[in-house]
Chains A and B, each alone.
Chain A
Amino acid sequence: MRFMTTKGRAKRGVLLVGILFCCAVMLGWADNWEDIQRKSSNIKSVSAHFSQEKHMHILTKALISKGHFYFLAPDSVRWEYTSPVKSVLLMRKGDIKRYTLGRRGFVEDSGGSLESMQIVLQEISKWSRGQFTGNEHFSATLKGGQVPKIILTPKEKGLSAMISRIVITLSPDRRGVISFVKIIENKGNYTLFEFTDVQINGKISETIFREVE
């Protein structure tokens, strides 16, 4: 029952995707990587509601989770679940912590791997600067059209054991906003995130990246 040692590995994949959310919001700004990189420097903050649908063979209907997502440049992230499990992931200045609401209030998960967190932080800084191409963890493909999509494919065998690919669907009618992120793990097993009420460069208090409640 070595759950804790796994969580570091899992968290790595999870956090990579989490970081993706904030960066993906920028992608509708442009139709090519150069534009993305050039214009993404203007992003200072992102906030959004999200719903998460988990689909897999054991579930006849999707398991729905809901929460809020916040990003503050250069490297602060709050990824908060409000239902069905209350959980908060905080990343700030190289320090990453995760808390889950239990019987004794919010308790910090103690199984995270510091090494994994370091990798994630590196990803934050890269993606925040719009550096998707040349990324050591994912290969990126941009598909234009009325509903532009970006497809990320893991380069590493370890990561591809968890994630087959990630498909980001951009909003066709609101520039700078994504509609969906679909994380495909394997056949029939995927997670679909839908973002609503996306605010770009709104005022976000720095304390929400330090304090759970």
Chain B
Amino acid sequence: MKAFALHKRCFLILMSAFFIISCSRLPVIKPVDTAMAPDTMRRCHLPFLDIPYRFIHAIEVALPGSRTGTVVGVTAFDPATKTIQSVIMTIEGFVLFDASYEKEVRVNRAVPPFNAEHFAGYMMDDVRLIFLTPDGRLSDTGVFEDGSTVCRYYVKQNWVIDVIVHKDNTWEIERYSDSHELLRKVMTFSVRDRIPGMVELNAFGFREYTLRLNLINAEPVSPEALRLRPDDAPEDDE
């Protein structure tokens, strides 16, 4: 009887937790005057550069259990075509992962465990979240309580992406699941000319991790440069 009561209590706790999670609510957006809508849209576009760019970052990785490490990340993208090239290498220059995205992910090189089945897809999702305008339906625009501008998009799998631009022109990007559970949160710091000196990405849920992208270099690139593949490189001479 006692065991039954215990099970019943656990069941109620689980059900309550499930209820709370399933009822997670998105942050409330206060609508703005219609006349302000174009300005709101313009500010929401601030995080996303209009021309092809290449970023080089020192990436601090923090995983559960106080595990940490640093790698160098090179990311090049073309906002017009939504093309992305991404390389992760050690500080010493050894390439661990090299992939591109153009409608689908193509992995050029992946040292285990970077060759894990879903790694490339997850990584490209994170890169897209940071650098490219959400590829989905704009559902709401407005402001939060603190006066930050916000644009809300519904993207694939009914995920929700909030692009939040603060008054100081730093920004946050949040991605929620279809049940409105926060999955990713991107924060930017030390922004100059729309280029953040530091980007922090926090992943929540089943796979928790934090990436801190410290800017080494950012520069525009030609769209042609983004079409180069490793196979196009000249032969090495010794």
Contact = CB atoms under 8 A, between A and B. Distances in A.
A209 interface: no
Contact of A189 (B56, B72, B212, B233): B233
Contacts of B4: none
B69 A110 contact: yes
Given A14-B92, A57-B228, A102 B60 contact: yes
B222 to A, nearest CB: 8
A119 to B, nearest CB: 16
Contacts of B69: 3-4, 7, 100, 109-111
A188 B230 contact: yes
A6 B114 contact: yes
Nearest to B122: A1
Given A5-B113, A57-B229, A187 B235 contact: yes
Contacts of B203: 1
A135 interface: no
Contacts of B21: none
A195 to B, nearest CB: 15
Interface string A96-116: 000010110001111100000
The number of chain A residues touching the other chain, given as a range, is: 35 or more
Interface string A154-198: 000000011100010000000000000011111111110000000
Category for how many chain B residues contact A: 35 or more
B13 interface: no
A2 B113 contact: yes
Contacts of B231: 187
B63 A1 contact: yes
A1 B87 contact: no
A191 B207 CA distance: 33
Interface string B88-124: 0111111110100000000001011110100100110
A111 B122 contact: no
B167 to A, nearest CB: 25
Nearest to A108: B68
A35 B27 CA distance: 73
A151 interface: yes
A188 B221 CA distance: 19
Interface string B61-81: 101001111111010100000
Given A4-B67, A110-B69, A188 B91 contact: no
B128 to A, nearest CB: 15
A47 interface: no
B92 A18 contact: yes
A1 to B, nearest CB: 5
B111 A6 contact: yes
A81 B91 contact: yes
A45 B42 CA distance: 60
A145 interface: no
B230 A186 contact: yes
Interface in A52-80: 52, 54, 56-60, 63, 65
B146 interface: no
Give the 3 A-B CB pairs with smallest separation, nearest first: A188-B233, A191-B93, A100-B70
Interface of B: 54, 56, 58, 60-61, 63, 66-72, 74, 76, 85, 87, 89-96, 98, 109, 111-114, 116, 119, 122-123, 203, 207, 209, 211-212, 216-217, 221, 225, 228-236, 238
27 contacts: A1-B203, A1-B211, A3-B69, A3-B71, A4-B61, A4-B67, A4-B69, A52-B92, A56-B74, A56-B95, A57-B233, A58-B228, A59-B54, A60-B221, A63-B216, A85-B91, A100-B91, A162-B111, A167-B238, A182-B236, A182-B238, A183-B93, A185-B94, A187-B231, A187-B235, A189-B98, A191-B92
